[in-house]
Structure 1
Amino acid sequence: MTRTALPLTGAALVLILLVLVTVRLPWIGDLGIHAATVERLRHGLLDPGNPLVDADTPSPYYSPWTVLLGALAKATGLSAFGVLRIGALVALAVLVTGVWRYVRTLSARAAAPPLALLCLLLLWGTTQFSWSGFLGLHSLALTVAYPSVLALGLAFHLWAWLARAVRGATRGWGVWLGCGVLWAVVLLVHQYSGVVASLGALAVVFSARAGRGVLGRLGAGAALGVLVLWAWPYYDFFALLGAGDGMDAVHRSLYRDLLGRYWLVLVGVAALVMRWRRDRRDVLVLFFVLGVVVFAAGGVSGHWSWSRVLPAALIPAQLAVAVEAAQAVESGRRVVRVAWAGVLGVALVVGAWGQAGTLGYVAGRGLLPGAVEQKYREPWEGYRWIRRWVGYGDVVMAREFPARQIPAWGAYTVAPGYPDFFLDDEGERLAAVRAYFSAGAVGSARRGIEREYGVRWVVGRGERDGLRGDPGLRRTGRGPGGEVLYAVVG
């Protein structure tokens, strides 16, 4: 019992920290587009249009999960951020229960599930890093309200369900068809996590040495999943297959500083080697190999967006060391127990220290010790201040950075703050923003852009944007960092 109490306590403390994070919901990154998506669905559940700009286009952000959150916002009147907080708590619960169920298929040891949670959250590197779909503690604190968290949680449930099915623990067609539907839902909720889920599912099937009967049922489930993807009404899932090249530039940084971001995962790679020596078709080893192959292929070929499959290599390594340590500590020889406990304990402490800045998202900068404060990243302040003047559906002219945040409160921007595969005139919109804020822009050119896109407001920085003195603009409000809100009057 004592051997299980320590990992259980550690996992509970980390999860409490993440629950407290949802109260403040720190914002650095994509939170704005998810809030904007909820806002559009609240106002038009069946035909929401583009979430960022005033255009009638589909969007992959309209997934089964966000449609559910939008319906909740519409029914309750809660704000988009309030609904996202509820969604974050649900997603955390799905993730924790999913990890617990899947690890139970790998080990019967009581310490394995809590150790797995700790390894998934802390066993990364010492370079602070955050990205959606990556389960490091710091990353999860900033992305806890993103659909990727729910998608990964559902992926763990999919692997657990599938593992029991291929072993014959469940019979009948229902479980296989259910797996197919769940697989499709994960892909619709977050496409990159859906690829990770797919590789994990393939590893489960390959490791089980499934016979023809199982493969036939699996094929039926996959066919139903494809049908669900085809029938989803909010966007054409299969059209996204041609969108990868447009996302490569955004993801190139994921191939940098690999050692600093992930070096503690090498402990898990050592555990994978041990598992491979016992079983050449070990499920975690196969999962890891599939992830590494796809990630490496993306780096060699210049398809940088393939880097998002990296969790398919990280997750099995993190789970492997948790399972091996739990088995060694509970049943191994004393020397083996001490070795595993020592190595993993030190790695988890080092990983926790590397992500200690997460505490600031609960306590705030002022309460952090100096050494921890240096690891803390100040969240964005957002553009709540413009709501006094800017109404829902108003179009705001803004550069890329504010354009990533302004739609969260219901306004549109001229150009989207993020790449949009379904927006045909995205290039023209970006060019219009550049022209509007260019040093040599004249009033007549700005008036033309304002009329073309229905611009009612402009967010700029006064003299630095050349907006001060423009007779077609009236200074209306002032925000943090010297930003100015102008009303279009010309």
Structure 2
Amino acid sequence: MRAAGSTLARAAALLLLVLLVAVVVRLPWAGDLGIHAATVERLRHDLLDPGDPLVAADAPSPYYTPWTLLLGCVAKATGLGVFVVLRIAALLSLAVLVTGVWSFVGTFMESAAPKGAAGWGRRAAASALVLLSLALLWGTTLFNWSGFSGLNSLALTVSYPSTFALGASFWLWTLLRRAVTWAHFLGAGLLWAVILLSHQFTGVVASLGAVAMVLGARPWPGRAAWVRLGAGCALGLLLLAVWPYYSFFALSGAGGLEEIHRSLYRDLPGRLWLVALVGGAALALRWWRDRRDPLVLCCLLGALVFAAGGLSGHWSWGRVLPAVLIPAQVAAGLEVFCAPRRAVRVALGWAVAGALVVGAWAQSGTLGYVLPRSALPDAVAAKYREPWADYHWITPWVKYGEVVLAKQWPARQIPAYGAYTVAPGYPDFFLDDEEARLAAVRTYFAPATSAQRRADVLRRYGVRWVVAYPGDGGLPLDRVAVGPRGQILYRVRS
């Protein structure tokens, strides 16, 4: 029975990975894909001084990270299109995530696992079950955010820097659990900084996990280990301080993030009941055996920060939620193989299996990113959410570096094809005139705005093109092309 369960876990994890690789081929448009594509596109054209990725301005951006710099170098060296590079990034990130989980799980199993093929098979089965738990052990209401490991969320964010940062976090925790030499600690410090620079929210999760790994270490670290750990932290802080593309520490004063994160605190029972029940039980078992279990400590640290954000109205602190959930999901997979009593392992195994089936059904709409909607059963098709329509249709006319005036949603995608927009489609922390640009777009499309004021907006920002629906208003311009859902590309007369 146990061998059959292990084989089933490995087969299911393999199918999940095949599904995600197939999603990479589709690379569905949603969320922040546009900003990441635009960032790679700017770095392809100028690695040293790319400027703001969204608007024609000389401004730093937190999207210029070690990870996107690597992708920009790949794009520049190979000449591959930006979406091909993002697909390569997605595959690399998946590899970092899978190997990171394998390595992290190994740190919990090496002392207890038998040697040889039997030990390898047990570790492989536990790693597979942990991967399945990370993707499927959530709730029955979708929870899609970058840095969250749910299957549907990963399908939409697999090419984002957050997926790389999530995988790298498992490697950081592995390194800290095995750290002995100076190289280990200094390498951990550098990796910590890379994660923080690549995706700041996941960097906070990685940091809480790192604290938990150190506090949960057995035996308790000696004086030499603390000295080396301090040196690793200092090296990481140095990299954060000297990173040339943006000021990492200036992000602490960035505003405008609270309201968009408020939804992180809504409908938590529907989104998380599976992991709360099954993962919570697994964590309780680990806590009973070891009051300093690192997974329990990580969960508690994350829960404290998450609760503080909810109580204080700092809704953006809700992005720390993976620090609460990942330990529970990892514990659920581990305890099926590591719990000392066979009866507990069997009972928890059935509970995890049942929860994974329910979770898989809740996220079954992810199949729509791979299969045509007509090929899906009606019940699954009802869960599928159509990706955004892309803007390839403007590229025969709009060239790299030209400025397009558009409302917020088109502005989230147009820069991915090399053009700039008048106002950024995403919060732009280091853009001094962001509010003026947003006001200019509102002014242009406002019904009461005079033709002269509209012309002033076009002239002030060097606008060559306007993307709008017929009823949006604006100046009478030359109609060039019509896109999905009736959007029109207009040429601004010279």
2:148 to 131, 134, 142: 134
Secondary structure at the residue paired with 1:363? coil
CA contact (8 A) 1:88 1:146 kept: yes
Residue-by-residue CA offset, 1:395-445 (whole Å, 9 max, x unaligned): 000000000000000000000000011000000000001101111122111
Measured in 2, the distance between the counterparts of 1:246 and 1:106 equals: 40
The equivalent residue for 1:19 is: 21
Measured in 1, the distance between the counterparts of 2:472 and 2:90 equals: 38
CA contact (8 A) 2:286 2:293 kept: yes
CA contact (8 A) 1:269 1:317 kept: yes
Gaps of 5+ in 1: none
Secondary structure at the residue paired with 2:245? coil
The equivalent residue for 2:171 is: 157
Measured in 2, the distance between the counterparts of 1:71 and 1:282 equals: 41
Secondary structure at the residue paired with 1:485? strand
Secondary structure at the residue paired with 2:64? coil
AA at the equivalent of 2:97: L
Is 1:313 the equivalent of 2:327?
no
Measured in 1, the distance between the counterparts of 2:74 and 2:6 equals: 39
Is 1:342 the equivalent of 2:350?
yes
CA contact (8 A) 1:115 1:326 kept: no
Aligned Cα root-mean-square deviation (Å): 1.1
1:487 to 484, 488, 491: 491
Secondary structure at the residue paired with 1:118? helix
Measured in 2, the distance between the counterparts of 1:87 and 1:261 equals: 28
Is 1:466 the equivalent of 2:476?
no
CA contact (8 A) 2:335 2:345 kept: no
Measured in 1, the distance between the counterparts of 2:107 and 2:386 equals: 40
Measured in 2, the distance between the counterparts of 1:371 and 1:485 equals: 38
The equivalent residue for 2:135 is: 121
Secondary structure at the residue paired with 2:239? helix
The equivalent residue for 1:256 is: 266
Gaps of 5+ in 2: 114-121
AA at the equivalent of 1:63: T
Residue-by-residue CA offset, 1:299-351 (whole Å, 9 max, x unaligned): 111111101100000000001111111225xx743x43432222111000000
Is 1:177 the equivalent of 2:186?
yes
Measured in 1, the distance between the counterparts of 2:420 and 2:53 equals: 8
Secondary structure at the residue paired with 1:423? coil
Secondary structure at the residue paired with 2:257? helix
Q: Which moved more, 1:476-485 or 1:82-91?
A: 476-485
The equivalent residue for 2:45 is: 43
Residues 1:49 and 1:406: Cα distance change in structure 2 (over 3 Å): same
Residue-by-residue CA offset, 1:249-306 (whole Å, 9 max, x unaligned): 1111111111111111111011111111111111000000000000010111111110
Is 1:247 the equivalent of 2:237?
no
- 1:241 is displaced (CA, Å) by 1.3
The equivalent residue for 1:428 is: 436
The equivalent residue for 1:364 is: 372
Measured in 2, the distance between the counterparts of 1:258 and 1:337 equals: 28
The equivalent residue for 1:213 is: 224
- 1:120 is displaced (CA, Å) by 0.3
- State the TM-score, normalized to the length of structure 1: 0.96
Residue-by-residue CA offset, 1:224-267 (whole Å, 9 max, x unaligned): 00001111111111111111x32111111111111111111111
Secondary structure at the residue paired with 1:380? coil
Measured in 2, the distance between the counterparts of 1:409 and 1:216 equals: 48
CA contact (8 A) 2:337 2:345 kept: no
CA contact (8 A) 1:7 1:115 kept: yes
Is 1:396 the equivalent of 2:408?
no
CA contact (8 A) 1:57 1:423 kept: yes
Measured in 2, the distance between the counterparts of 1:279 and 1:340 equals: 19
- 1:221 is displaced (CA, Å) by 0.3
Secondary structure at the residue paired with 1:7? helix
- 1:3 is displaced (CA, Å) by 3.6
Secondary structure at the residue paired with 1:379? coil
- 1:202 is displaced (CA, Å) by 0.0
Which residues in structure 2 correspond to 1:75-114 (within 5 Å)? 75-107=77-109, 108=113, 109-110=122-123, 111-114=125-128
Is 1:188 the equivalent of 2:212?
no
AA at the equivalent of 1:86: I
Secondary structure at the residue paired with 1:21? helix
CA contact (8 A) 2:336 2:346 kept: no
Q: Which moved more, 1:313-322 or 1:109-118?
A: 109-118
2:279 to 268, 271, 277: 268
- 1:164 is displaced (CA, Å) by 0.9
- 1:465 is displaced (CA, Å) by 1.1
- State the TM-score, normalized to the length of structure 2: 0.95
- 1:211 is displaced (CA, Å) by 2.4
Measured in 1, the distance between the counterparts of 2:412 and 2:372 equals: 24
Residue-by-residue CA offset, 1:154-199 (whole Å, 9 max, x unaligned): 110010010011xxxx3x3111111100100000111110000000
Secondary structure at the residue paired with 1:193? helix
Measured in 2, the distance between the counterparts of 1:219 and 1:378 equals: 48
CA contact (8 A) 1:36 1:410 kept: yes
Secondary structure at the residue paired with 1:358? helix
Secondary structure at the residue paired with 2:62? coil
Secondary structure at the residue paired with 2:366? helix
AA at the equivalent of 1:82: V
Measured in 2, the distance between the counterparts of 1:356 and 1:79 equals: 31
Q: Quick one: percent identity of the two aligned structures?
A: 64
Measured in 1, the distance between the counterparts of 2:423 and 2:258 equals: 20
Measured in 2, the distance between the counterparts of 1:127 and 1:365 equals: 21
Measured in 2, the distance between the counterparts of 1:363 and 1:39 equals: 29
CA contact (8 A) 2:137 2:274 kept: yes
1:290 to 301, 305, 314: 301
Measured in 1, the distance between the counterparts of 2:345 and 2:149 equals: 27
CA contact (8 A) 1:396 1:456 kept: yes
